[in-house]
Structure 1
């Protein structure tokens, strides 16, 4: 019996999706299933995992409340600070910059990604350390200023490290903005500030939500910046996971924390998609 055109299209689609689906299943679904299994187990006598079925690991989550608190406070705060810096930058690049210089300026935004985040964070350790800014302040009579190993240092590292990821979605959203809408608003007598809040900002909100969701989700699992700029005093969930899996070898408890982290990421992503959908009236597939 010959295959219909619809069946052929479905087979072709399935064949094209099969490699990516297999990749996601092996490297995303299976590890998550393993985490779920580990999270209801017990720590072995020598560490690692011992088969069991208990929810004691989830009941013990408050023991890492400081890591949750720091992550859930500093991650949104870092994303908000990135937004405050990124929006004016993206607006200038997309609306104000001349087309001749725009490509160069956008390239400069991406240039920091050419250097490892580890190297850039170590540079900030020197700048904020005793030989950096505090030393200069001490020379002018401002002594005993501690910048490193503080939440402020972590926030500074977050803004520096994740700013390009916030700028690019907003830039793309603003770059697609129909300039005739701005001209029409001006012709109708609206002032520039009124035009911005009534036309530019609402039309760019999908890009804003994409950038905020992207940066926030990545920050929820951040390890390097809190470890280096926080000096072990500003713990994120990522730092707690490294400690439990590699130091304490408490795999079930670490898996329980990892499962809750995935749940938090899903909630953040869902909320961001719903907000973007309500704002724009269409589903924002770029958030997925």
Structure 2
């Protein structure tokens, strides 16, 4: 998307090139994914992040050919720009499963190539509280795996987007958002970028007593992918809701609410931060909020325009 720079009479590129929603199968079959994609298309969405591990496409690190062909045919029914969310359980820090994780991630990159997806999301790793002796090598292990995956993805033209995640259990070892940015810098590969999940960063900052804005500022210069959904930045701790709506009522946890339902100051953030070129904004706001998605899309497009003005000003 191009925006004019009126002050100097020239044009500059908005570093955020697209905004859309995440989507996945609700029953492990492609038909339910197809139904949600059709609904998003009817809504006027042009960009979708596919949660492909909600469908059986890979077995033991190998692509299931027949399933991949069906997925490829399905995606061609729509004119979306696609990105892919990799394993939600992805974890390159754990020595017991890191090798299996890498095989599955490489298979997902191959599927990205089949459907024309230029980004695959990889969650930052973690160790359980009891894995004390693995911690010294955890960051090195993750960085080596990320470099290998990025090298594998290079000929396919796929970016690996390393996402910041919040702590999910007491004593867990996990990187802060700023440390995720340092990992991306240390790997220093053109096919690896950071992914800012704003709500995750908010929750982790609350949990650790960190400054949320400072953590986000540290990630922005190496961020090439964004996950946007609202919350109040309140860690879930030991609270268990009976219905998901009860967590929303209390404002506790990773709520994935429509923009404006929480207290993240979106316009303020996007008027300040500058991201990498070719950044994609994905709203992880699912069909539970189908009636709010149209308004969320308008607001996200407004954030793109706002950030585009910021990008132009920063370049001058």
Same structural fold, with TM-score higher than 0.5 when normalized by the shorter chain: no
RCO higher in 1 or 2 (8 Å CA, sep ≥ 6)?
1
TM-score by length of 1: 0.24
Q: Which has the higher helix share?
A: 1
Q: Which has the higher strand share?
A: 2
TM-score by length of 2: 0.22
